[in-house]
């Protein structure tokens, strides 16, 4: 069609695939080819969803959102962080309280496709693993899903690894190829809390996607897996949050993740004071990759020993280096 940009056709096709619109009539077969070797209960969740048996077991009562927020002592609009665990099909939503994050809700993921391990390329039917961030533009209405969130794959690390793909979403329903299907009521709650945090000033909402809960025991059980070295890197981010209950500082350095514990900064940026200020703030930071929760593309500064500093000072002033400095710089 004239006047229609080709990328929109591709966008629509990917959204349709995520929604399961291209599934064959034999639903059981369509499900089985997506599952491979882990989380076989995904089949039962899809069947329950198709039978109208909602909500799924262990789903928080989304009709009581305001009451649950009050019971937890947190507020809508406070900074949030999400963690996904593929093997157990769970999504955790944490909310900041007194500069630390507390677990607010654990939602069952109705369906995700593929197996443990990262997404490598378009069309491999894999859900990604790694550290992602959500900004305002990623919460906009996407195709048929009014409450979808674009995960932001590929991130800087994925691109450094030559991984490719697009429009990996968290969305409603219970059928997906490459996305995380959460059911409509759950996705509305997640979307509303995400939008509220962003409108209040959180510029980057972290989403950490793990193959499983990254305990020492779980990682040891997968010691022979092809992705074990990659998972060891992810564990550093998991451990940092477990230790501090704050989003870790994450950088991509020389094609690898570099993790540091968070500082004392809040995840919330200074809130704009008016609609005009909000618009000005969005335009100013539209392409800004900095700020709490973001993924930086930078290597950490090297640690310089005190002797090296003294030696450099002597070089700059033309003085002879002391013996200990000479040894330290050899």
**Among all residues, which ones are annotated catalytic?**
171, 179
Do 47 and 56 meet the contact criterion of CB atoms below 8 Å apart?
no
Task: Give CA–CA dist 179/190, Å, rounded.
Answer: 15
User: What backbone phi and psi angles, to 5 degrees, belong to 12?
Assistant: -65, -40
Q: Which helix (H) or strand (E) holds 188?
A: helix 184-200
Tokens of 129: 């693993």
Tokens 């291209």 correspond to what residue? Answer: 22
Inter-CA distances, 314 with 99, 119, 250, 310, 320, Å: 44, 52, 36, 6, 6
Task: Give CA–CA dist 198/218, Å, rounded.
Answer: 34
Tokens 């008016």 correspond to what residue? Answer: 274
Q: Is 178 helix (H, G, I), strand (E, B) or coil?
A: coil
Q: Which residues contact 278 (CB under 8 A, 6 or more apart)?
A: 199, 272
Strands 169-171 and 180-181, sheet pairing: parallel
Task: Give CA–CA dist 21/175, Å, rounded.
Answer: 9
Closest CA to 169 of 151, 185, 184: 151
The interaxial angle of helices 27-35 and 41-50, nearest 10 deg, is: 150
Tokens of 17: 């695939």
């Amino acid at each position: 069609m004239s006047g229609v940009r080709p990328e929109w056709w591709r966008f629509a096709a990917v959204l349709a695939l995520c929604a399961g619109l291209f599934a064959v009539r034999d639903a059981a077969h369509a499900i089985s080819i997506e599952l491979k070797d882990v989380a076989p209960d995904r089949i039962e969740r899809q069947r329950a969803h198709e039978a109208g048996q909602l909500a799924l077991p262990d789903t928080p009562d989304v009709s009581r959102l305001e009451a649950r927020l009050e019971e937890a002592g947190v507020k809508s609009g406070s900074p949030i962080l999400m963690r996904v665990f593929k093997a157990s099909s769970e999504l955790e939503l944490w909310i900041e309280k007194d500069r630390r994050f507390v677990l607010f809700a654990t939602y069952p993921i109705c369906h995700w496709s593929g197996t443990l391990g990262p997404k490598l390329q378009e069309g491999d039917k894999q859900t990604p693993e790694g550290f992602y961030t959500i900004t305002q533009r990623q919460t906009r209405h996407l195709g048929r899903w009014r409450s979808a969130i674009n995960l932001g794959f590929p991130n800087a690390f994925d691109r450094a690894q030559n991984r490719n793909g697009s429009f990996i979403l968290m969305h409603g329903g219970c059928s997906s190829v490459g996305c995380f299907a959460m059911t409509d009521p759950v996705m509305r709650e997640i979307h509303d809390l995400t939008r509220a945090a962003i409108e209040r000033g959180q510029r980057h909402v972290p989403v950490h996607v793990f193959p499983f809960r990254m305990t020492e025991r779980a990682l040891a059980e997968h010691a022979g897996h092809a992705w074990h070295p990659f998972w060891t890197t992810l564990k550093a981010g998991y451990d940092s949050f477990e230790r501090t209950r704050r989003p870790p500082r994450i950088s991509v350095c020389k094609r690898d993740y570099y993790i540091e514990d968070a500082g004392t900064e809040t995840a919330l940026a200074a809130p704009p004071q008016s609609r005009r200020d909000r618009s000005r703030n969005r335009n100013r930071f539209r392409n800004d990759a900095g700020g709490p929760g973001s993924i930086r593309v930078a290597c950490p500064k090297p640690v310089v020993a005190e002797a090296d500093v003294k030696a450099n000072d002597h070089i700059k002033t033309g003085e002879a280096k002391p013996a200990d400095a000479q040894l330290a710089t050899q």
